[in-house]
Amino acid sequence: NKLYQNVGLAYGERIVDPAIGESVKAITAQYTAEELISKRSEVSAKIKETLSNKLANYYMVLDEINITEFKFSEEFNNAIEQKQIAEQQALKAGLDLQRVEIEAKQKVEQAKAEAESLRLQKQEVTPELVKLREIEAQMKAIEKWDGKLPNVTGGAVPFIEVDAKE
């Protein structure tokens, strides 16, 4: 009754619509676009509280408020999309850098291992070992030899058998 006496029948245009606009703007300004979507219930509760306080001054009671969707301008949506693309590219670049660093460390460690292996092999090669390998090679050749000198025919310097009796 007091609402009609103080404001009249145009309370929607004079009181409710401006109160909704002010409450929504005041609360949504506290959040980023991503937060408005991810924290919708929190945003809705704060808008309801603010709007209820404004309407209570005019003897109105707000039962419920429902935020179905947020609409942003095309430019804003494009900016959000570009930001997400840039974040993904930065994340990928960071992962690529980590991969390259790990591969480089692996190559360094592999080179160190190969150098250590060569150093140990070189350390093991002594003049005595070289002489032993030569003797072993000669022994293998002697084991295979059947006691005959090779005959070479058609060569520039033929072998002449001294022991041959005909």
Q: Summarize pLDDT for 43-102 with one digit per residue, the tens.
A: 999 999 999 999 888 888 889 988 888 787 788 888 888 988 999 999 999 999 999 999
* Pairwise CA distance, residues 129 & 116, whole Å: 20
The DSSP secondary-structure symbol of 147 reads S
Residue 137: per-residue pLDDT: 92
Contacts by 144-152, CB closer than 8 A, 24 or more apart: none
Q: How far is the C-alpha of 20 from the C-alpha of 65, rounded, in Å?
A: 10
Same domain, 62 and 101: no
- Mean residue pLDDT across the chain: 85
Same-domain check for residues 60 and 93: no
Expressed as residue numbers, the domain containing 20 is 2-71
Using alpha carbons only, give the angle 71, 77, 80 rounded to the nearest 5 degrees: 125
pLDDT band at 135 (very low <50, low <70, confident <90, very high): very high
Q: How far apart (Å, rounded) are the C-alpha atoms in residues 80 and 85?
A: 9
Q: Are 81 and 58 within one domain?
A: no
